[in-house]
Structure 1
Amino acid sequence: MLEEFHDIRFPPDISLGARGGPERKTQIVVRANGRETRNQQWADSRRRYNAAKGVRSVNDLYTVIDFFEERRGRMHAFRWKDWADFKSCPPGNDITAQDQVLGVGDGVQKEFQLVKTYGATFQPYTRKILLPADTAPVVVAVGGAPAAGFVLDETSGLITFASAPPVGEQVTAGFEFDVPARFDTDMLELTLNAHVQGSVTNIPVVEVLL
């Protein structure tokens, strides 16, 4: 984990009002005959958010200032809860140990990375999960049976079993997770509307690819 990362979560009651989501970078070249050539320049998506809508009071305003100053603006990354996508399953469902496939045992491998896969038919995208959240336990199964003999690294998402899962046994997991992110500005534009009301024009936050 980078030294510039602070293992602390942006206030989740403020991020609840944020706007944003995944971003990709695709180069599109339109040829003379009107047909397109498309080239995906990023292997992984990168999420962007704006937390300004989550500020509802002057105390929220101060909370953001306090958090921003300690992070030194864009300098230090932090944990961010994406309320639209923070579980190994849809956000309205309960997590289960069968939510995500991490790999298949070969009798030797003991380490498995937490991942989340999007799509299933054409070209599924597998996202590495680096920051499992402490808001729910990580549940793991081997061959469909609950697993207990493992250690979880909470700042890399790496699961290490005491004994390697047997050959052919699928390793699955369920979890909540945070996004490694940072502010994408070194200046906050603040407005104090009244003694109990405040607002921020823009609080851009961007995912950090570690």
Structure 2
Amino acid sequence: MAFHDICFPASLSFGALGGPERRVEIVTLANGHEERNAPWSQSRRRYDAGLGLRSLDDLHDLLAFFEARGGQLHGFRWKDWADHKSCAPSATPGPLDQPIGQGDGTTRDFQLRKAYASGGTTHWRPITHPVASTLRVAVAGTERHDWTLDGGRVTFATAPVAGTAVTAGFEFDVPVRFDNDAIRVQVSNFQAGEVPSVPVIEVRA
């Protein structure tokens, strides 16, 4: 499967239903206690793009996008309006938003990531598809511009000094594909308010 570095129309993803899901295997023991195991280290996100359709023109754009991706064949970018920034949704990403590593005087490559913290527990999500034009990076609190971006990895021209904090701020997309090889819609029903189901699922990239 190839990945097309193009974003699903943001006007259509706005209003879509979806979010992260976890896989947890639960076994209930004879004494009533449970054993729980999580085989996935990261969540996998699902969305329904059909809920973002508001007009026949929207449907036209969806069909064109679907055909150009070959149905489920090629992946693409998806903007999750509920979670697409390194900061709060109402804020603007800044270079101090997320810690992505610490300098050791040798390492030049740092993976972008986002922290999800609650109740003393923090989960780190690797960010593989940042929006390049929004990325800002700092070392020891000072913004740097001597870096390049490859996927979700930042590479500095010179390695950050040992002990210095490396931070970044950015917007990002979710790599996804269509989760169905068919889109079925009846125009009369669509005009009456019935929307088609267009499932989209995150891919590991």
Provide the residue aligned with 2:75 in structure 1. Answer: 77
**Aligned-pair RMSD on alpha carbons?**
1.7
Provide the residue aligned with 1:57 in structure 2. Answer: 55
What is the deviation of 1:196?
7.0
1:208 aligns with 2:167: no
> Structure 1 residues 122 and 37, CA, compared in 2 at 3 Å: closer, same or farther?
farther
Aligned with residue 64 of structure 2, among 59, 63, 66 = 66
Provide the residue aligned with 2:167 in structure 1. Answer: 172
* Whole-Å separation in 1 of the counterparts to 2:191 and 2:44: 35
Provide the residue aligned with 2:179 in structure 1. Answer: 184
Provide the residue aligned with 2:136 in structure 1. Answer: 139
Residues 111-122 of structure 1 mapped to structure 2, 5 A cutoff = 111-119=109-117, 121-122=119-120
* Whole-Å separation in 2 of the counterparts to 1:198 and 1:64: 17
What is the deviation of 1:152?
1.3
1:138 maps to amino acid: L
* Whole-Å separation in 1 of the counterparts to 2:105 and 2:21: 38
* Whole-Å separation in 1 of the counterparts to 2:193 and 2:59: 6
> Structure 1 residues 129 and 174, CA, compared in 2 at 3 Å: closer, same or farther?
same
1:125 aligns with 2:123: yes
Residues 36-51 of structure 1 mapped to structure 2, 5 A cutoff = 36-51=34-49
Give per-residue Cα distances to partners, 1:126-174, cap 9 Å, x unaligned: 111111115x421111000111111112xx1111100000010000000
Q: Which runs of 4+ in 1 moved over 4 A?
A: 194-199
Q: Secondary structure at the match of 1:72?
A: coil
1:73 maps to amino acid: G
* Whole-Å separation in 2 of the counterparts to 1:129 and 1:139: 14
Corresponding residue pairs, total: 205
2:130 maps to amino acid: P
What is the deviation of 1:193?
2.5
Which structure dedicates a bigger proportion of its chain to helix? 2
Q: Secondary structure at the match of 1:190?
A: coil
TM-score, normalization by structure 1:
0.93
* Whole-Å separation in 1 of the counterparts to 2:189 and 2:51: 17
Is the 8 Å Cα contact of residues 111 and 160 (structure 1) preserved in structure 2? yes
Please identify, of 89-98 and 14-23, the stretch whose mean Cα deviation from structure 2 is larger.
89-98
Q: Secondary structure at the match of 1:209?
A: coil
Aligned with residue 26 of structure 1, among 24, 27, 33 = 24
Is the 8 Å Cα contact of residues 190 and 196 (structure 2) preserved in structure 1? no
Q: Secondary structure at the match of 1:89?
A: coil
Is the 8 Å Cα contact of residues 57 and 197 (structure 1) preserved in structure 2? no
Q: State the identity %.
A: 48
Give per-residue Cα distances to partners, 1:98-126, cap 9 Å, x unaligned: 11000000000001111111115443111
* Whole-Å separation in 2 of the counterparts to 1:11 and 1:157: 22
> Structure 1 residues 128 and 143, CA, compared in 2 at 3 Å: closer, same or farther?
same
Residues 142-153 of structure 1 mapped to structure 2, 5 A cutoff = 142-153=139-150
Provide the residue aligned with 1:95 in structure 2. Answer: 93
